[in-house]
Structures are given as structure tokens and as C-alpha cells.
Amino acid sequence: MHDGDIAMPEEKKKPLNCARCAAFCCKMAGYVEVTPHDIRRLAKYLGLGVREFEAKHIVKKTRAGKKRIKAGDEACQFLGEDRSCTVYPARPRDCRGYVCWDQDDSTVYDFARFTQLGVDELRKIEEKEEAEARRK
């Protein structure tokens, strides 16, 4: 942890309001792998054939044959300008099961939590951390 980081007890992170988030999970949470079922569902939702969907939307195919629609270092191609998922009803399994407060890596959660806290809450956290630092 670095100076200024907002710490949460590792036991249980408080769930966040996804609607108030800047969609960090879609911008920085890594790659999104799609199963054959995901591909069929997405293709149907977009009115495309499976081959057409794959040609247009698969950004990487791994040596093991896994297909991805999001590279690890890029925003998801289906993230709308309003930070909502443009294919939400047909989103892949990886997205359906992802919540930032239930991940081993808390980077996305930490960013999202920070943006959802009010200024008063941030000041209280900062004061508490400064007091703890003085005690050390």
C-alpha cells in the first residue's frame, strides 16, 4: 500500500453502486474472454452471424484457442459514451460474474470506491491515516 491509498479490511469489501462508477471494470480490469455460447448470444443480439461477429469483434485468439473481446490494456469495445454496456442483455459470462468488490486484486475496487466517496468521507479517511502515520 502506498501513501494516500484508501485501505479497506481484506475480509469483506463493501459493495459499490455500479451506476455511480466510471466503469473502471470495463476500462482497466483486464481481458474479457468469450465462450462459444457468449459469441452466439452476442452475435444474435447485434444481428450478426457468428463468423461476422468474430471477424468484427474478437480482438485476440490465444494459443489455446480462447477468444477475447477486450484486450487487457484497452477499454471494452462495447462500453458506451455514457459508461454503460451497449450489449448488457447479452454480455459475456466474464462480465456477468464480475464485481470489483469480490476480486483478489483490489485495484479496480479502490479506484471505484474513491470516486464514489464524498469529500467529507475522503477527509475523514485522510485524517485517520495521518493520525496513524504520526503514531508510528
- pLDDT per position in the chain (136 positions), as tens? 344 444 444 556 777 666 666 666 777 767 899 999 999 999 999 999 999 999 999 999 999 999 999 887 788 999 898 888 899 999 999 888 776 566 676 676 676 677 667 778 778 888 888 898 888 7
d(CA 6, CA 130): 12
Q: Where are the domains of the chain?
A: 20-115
Q: How far is CA 61 from CA 35, 91, 96, 114, 115, in A?
A: 12, 19, 21, 34, 34
Q: Determine what percent of the chain falls in helix, strand and coil, rounding each to the nearest 5.
A: 45, 10, 45
Question: What is the pTM for the complete model shown?
Answer: 0.68
Predicted confidence at residue 100, as pLDDT, reads 58
67: nearest Cα among 53, 85, 78: 53
